[in-house]
Amino acid sequence: MITCRSAAEIERLAQVNGLVAQVLRELMGAVAVGVTTRQLDALAERRLREGRAEPAFKGYHGYPATICASVNEQVIHGIPNDRPLQEGDILSIDLGGKLEGYFGDSAVTVPVGRVSADADRLLTVTQAALERAIAVVRPGARVHDIGAAVQQHVEAHGYAVVREFVGHGIGTALHEEPQIPNYGTPGRGSRLAAGMVLAIEPMVNIGKAAVKVLSDGWTAVTKDGSLSAHFEHTVAVTETGCRILTLRDQVVTEAV
């Protein structure tokens, strides 16, 4: 069942998603050669708790950390560890928080020092795919319009969309209906309505689309070893379009 949230609930969701965005912005600034993803994980948990929130991922189906930290060919769900980041890596940071019963979720992929032209282009294309997907969100649009916008942009640049993992509704649970694939046929899928809150998250591979999950049961990697990028925003459908709740250039304020 798809839930449409009240104005008061949207403000609660804006508060937790704003906190997630603020913490994610700090994590982006902390990424550097020699830093470990475990250090970033500790920083993320500390900042969430300082904001009165709980990590949404830690303990979720047994996941052991606050962030998902996925490096290079890792697509999503990479577990933080003690490997120092190296010049030329790209790092996806996915962060979720829970505050007073409401969830926030956002992700970004960042370069570590200087990266290759191929890696830089992948990040640019994936972020643009997210922006194009958000641009189609409005009442009356369809879920597959979102995925089609991602797919068309990504494939026009010669890249592949990951199909095994999808975006999702979000609210009083981390994952709610509807599922939001990053591919599709325009005009199909559930109709969007004001009050729906969606986590839209393109995952894009330089090589082929196929992925596999490693023996840790979490880390998804490209089967061909090619680089992968991941960007995510949580948005609320409004009467005229949508409101991005995870903008990283806004200051978090107390909800009234």
Q: Domain ranges in the chain?
A: 7-244
pLDDT tens for residues 10-65?
999 999 999 999 999 999 999 999 999 999 999 999 999 999 999 999 999 999 99
Tens digits of per-residue pLDDT, 112-161? 999 999 999 999 999 999 999 999 999 999 999 999 999 999 999 999 99
pLDDT of residue 253: 35
Q: How far is 246 from 249, CA to CA, in rounded Å?
A: 9
Taking only the tens place, the pLDDT of each residue in 162-214 is 999 999 999 999 999 999 999 999 999 999 999 999 999 999 999 999 999 99
Is residue 216 left, alpha or beta, with left meaning phi > 0 and alpha meaning psi from -120 to 50?
A: alpha
Residue type at 37? T
236: helix, strand or coil: strand
- 61: DSSP letter: G
Token output for 224: 């061909």
pLDDT at residue 250, rounded to an integer = 55
The amino acid at 123: L
Residue in this structure with the two tokens 């500390």, named with its chain if needed: 46
Question: Does residue 198 contact residue 235 with C-beta atoms inside 8 Å?
Answer: yes
**DSSP letter assigned to residue 34:** T
**C-alpha to C-alpha distance for 27 and 21, rounded to whole angstroms:** 10
Q: How far apart are CA 70 and CA 79, in angstroms?
A: 7
Provide the 8-state DSSP code for 255: -
Give the CB-side neighbour count of residue 220, counting CA atoms within 13 A. 18
Mean pLDDT, rounded, of the chain: 96
- CATH number of this structure's domain 7-244: 3.90.230.10
Cα distance between residue 143 and residue 191, in whole Å? 6
3-class secondary structure, 6: coil
Please give the Cα distance from 37 to 76 (Å, whole number): 14
Q: Which residue has the tokens 């729906």?
A: 196
CA distance 163 to 35: 31
How many residues make up the chain in this entry?
256
| Sheet with 228-230, edge to edge strand ranges | 160-161, 203-205, 228-230
pLDDT value of position 249: 80
Which sign, positive or negative, has the C-alpha torsion 24, 29, 30, 36?
positive
pLDDT for 255: 30
Kindly report the number of other CB atoms within 10 A of residue 253's CB atom. 9
Task: Give the three-state DSSP class for 49.
Answer: helix
